[in-house]
Amino acid sequence: MLSSTTTSTTTPTTVIIPAATIAVSPRLGSRGISPRTAITIQADHGTLADVVMRGTDGTVVKGSLSTDRRTWRLGEPLGYDATYDVTGKAVAANGKITALKGSYSTVSPDNVISASISPGDGDTVGIGAPILISLGTDIVDTVGRQNIEKAITVTTVPKTEGSFAWIQHDDGWGLDWRPKSYWAPGTKVTVKADLYGVSYGGNLWGKEDLTSSFTIGRAEITKGDISTHRLKVYRDGKLVFDFPTSFGLESDPGRVTRGGTYIVMGKEYLHLMSNPAYHYFNFKAYYAVRISNNGTFIHANDGTADIQGYENVTHGCANLTMTNAKAFYDQTLYGDPVEITNSSIPMSQSDGDIYDWSIPWSKWQTLSALSESYAYAS
């Protein structure tokens, strides 16, 4: 009997190694990007090698490669109005190379805007001091204002509830941050404003990053009662001074001391006061503590000493004797609240530069550009 055999053959499997691909975000060739754009380069089916971003002057920009060598990330902000070349490669498992080559250019601003932060770094201030972000020009673009707020962080120890508000100051629009209530004494505050590379709208951009760390001092509140002609100073809840004073003449609306919450804004040993409408020039006010940019001070005036505590006759300031004015002057801090009550005219925006505490908290929150109610705030 004949037998038959069957022979089978196996075809070898061919392993196809895919070529490495490169994904770049934003795409190479992008123009007018923000200097703070997060640039990433990603390799698929391979690893990155020799990735370099270089300015036209030859300077290499910082960047970092992930441990698996598949992702490169930009490590520092770029410059304004600058072009950067990107080179490198992705290497597949079989050694085949995919080249990386392209460029970016950044936005060319019409202007870059400086800013400043108050209180300044290292300051110790009173419990009513707001944080003032002063900008070099009026920023009215809503998206620009939102960008600015998003770029600023306020860190406090202990944690403090607060909010930003866009406020019209004497020198234009500024961004203020204040707590819901007065600061707790001893609070440590750090403000970090990463404004470089931030669009303010209208092709205006932030010039630099800023920081400030300051401390809230003791809790001191000065309370002025126009009806009793007294100025009382409370420190940590205890009465430390009870000064007889004379406030503004109530029968003349131009001289009334406005009611509301001021803060101590500055101190001068000697301030020369002039008011042509009331025919006085270069009056020597000693131990002058400014509480408003509209000319309201707490200062010495021995010329009214006989009626201090009995009658209001001034042009809006709070007069004290020379001795009492010096005592107040020597111990007060920037940011100490001064609460004036029983006035016939309330304090308003027109009565001084820092009127933050005259705005109710519910209203204050709507003045943040990030508030849902912002568009309806007035």
> Active-site residue numbers?
299, 317
Q: What is the dihedral of CA 362, 367, 372, 377, to 10 degrees?
A: 90
* Degrees to nearest 5, angle at CA 90 with 87 and 91: 140
Q: DSSP letter at 87?
A: E
Sign of the alpha-carbon dihedral angle for 364, 368, 371, 377: positive
- The total of other beta-carbon atoms located within 10 Å of residue 107's CB is 19
Which of 1, 36, 10 lies closest to 198, judged by CA?
Answer: 36
Distance CA 80, CA 83 (A): 9
Distance CA 129, CA 107 (A): 37
Structure tokens at 207: 């010039």
Which of 324, 285, 317 lies closest to 301, judged by CA?
Answer: 285
